[in-house]
Amino acid sequence: MAAPLTDLSTTDRFWADADRHLVRYAGAGDFTREIIDHAAGSYLFTESGRRILDFTSGQMSAILGHSHPEIVETVRRQIGSLDHLFSGMLSRPVVDLARQLAETLPSPLEKALLLTTGAESNEAAIRMAKLVTGKHEIVSFARSWHGMTQAAANATYSAGRKGYGPTAPGNFAIPSPNSYRPDFVGPDGELDWKRQLDFGFEMIDAQSVGSLAACIVEPILSSGGIIEPPVGYFAALQEKCRERGMLLILDEAQTGLCRTGNWYAFERDGVVPDILTLSKTLGAGLPLAAVITSAEIEQEAHDRGYLFFTTHVADPLVAAVGNTVLDVLTRDRLDERATELGAFLRRGLDDLAARHSVVGDIRGRGLLVGVELVVDRATKRSSDELGALVTRRCLELGLHMNIVQLPGMGGVFRIAPPLTATEDELAEGLAVLDQAIGDASA
């Protein structure tokens, strides 16, 4: 056993223990050098007494803010009566949540499988699609992020592919429709997404061995840099899937449950996926996810012996939390609030762009917004250093921001405050971002 550390302050001891005993899991990134003591609403509070405005809702999850009183009360009540069960047993919170989810969704989405994380829900959805279609090939976006378990990681292209050996055969990527950095352009210089999509599936058809099972995509690619496909794209994508006998899986881990101003981001496009996955926002910060599909697909999966049996499938504790989340979203009309606050945030960001030439693009919907930084607006030349400087300066000034930095793109801030945030809190964050951009640019 290692000798105990002595003569260190409590804080120094904390970081010595963290550096010595924790596995780092964020690539080249380091842990933020703050010890978070507690959180409430839109703010984090450190042991040293600092207050930090949280513009990421934790890991893009806490849509009702931190320590929402109704969530706290639900956890206290439920854990005292029923927290966990054998996976073949059912409880009222689980059935209630399945019903409530179905009531928020268009037909024929009505059958739910309750799990824990986004990766797990995508794993279960892909597994279902393969079994139902009898095929194995999976298509996703070249900037996608669907999780770190095997099938989800195989369908993830934005990061984490190198160094782990071969992926499963039959995983293909199509170009991400990035209107700010278009690869296929029309005579007007704008993204020609129809030609891009046609090209993407021509390449898929050339590589496929005739076993295309599903296409899994995010309505807004978050880790890919808040890339939102143009209106009409998903209807055309669904048609490509139909032509090939593929199922369309939409991963709404970050976009689902009112964040974009709609209950579900796919509503804008008038499409209904064959399988929908939810996570992050469903538990409002607690580990809860769902796979939702039609009775027809569920029946076919069941007839073929669908197996996705996990330790925490259909756990009553987090299901009770999910019910509270849906109740609060409905009662407080947080879809409308996300639209209103999103418009307020967008106006503030447009004002920043007018005064800071390094703001190259602002995109997204509702309270999921991306701000791309560039060194030169004309060439759209990016700078990893600039993004890192602004991020660091924001934290120094009391604002937590998350920046995505991918090859070929500038640093893209993902702004996703809680739906319960106030205009004053958004204004506070905008003021800090304004100062941080100015300081870093200088």
Catalytic residue among 78, 196, 238, 254: 254
Cα separation, 273 vs 78, in Å, equals 33
Longest dimension (CA), the chain: 70
Catalytic residue among 143, 240, 280, 337: 280
What are the CA-CA distances from residue 389 to residues 54, 358, 385, 433, 439 (Å)?
18, 13, 6, 11, 9
Both structure tokens of 247: 């199922």
Catalytic residue among 100, 130, 143, 145: 145
Both structure tokens of 41: 């609403």
Catalytic residue among 120, 192, 251, 269: 251
* SS3 (DSSP) at 88: coil
Question: Which residue(s) pair with 41 in the sheet?
Answer: 66
- 207 is annotated as an active-site residue: no
Residue 318: other Cβ atoms inside 10 A = 27
Beta strands in 13-162 (DSSP E): 36-40, 43-46, 51-54, 109-115, 137-141
Catalytic residue among 192, 414, 425, 428: 414
* SS3 (DSSP) at 234: helix
Best CA proximity match to 146, nearest among 130, 162, 122: 122
Both structure tokens of 263: 């209950």
What residue has token string 């030609």?
195
Q: Regarding beta strands 137-141 and 212-217, do their DSSP bridges make them parallel or antiparallel, or are they unpaired?
A: parallel
- 251 is annotated as an active-site residue: yes
Tell me the angle at which helices 92-104 and 316-331 cross, rounded to the nearest 10 degrees.
40
The kind and range of the H/E element at 104 are: helix 92-104
Catalytic residue among 123, 218, 252, 269: 218
- 254 is annotated as an active-site residue: yes
Cα separation, 227 vs 411, in Å, equals 13
Both structure tokens of 66: 């931190």
- 414 is annotated as an active-site residue: yes
Q: Regarding beta strands 51-54 and 399-400, do their DSSP bridges make them parallel or antiparallel, or are they unpaired?
A: parallel
Residue 347: other Cβ atoms inside 10 A = 10
Catalytic site positions: 145, 218, 251, 254, 280, 414
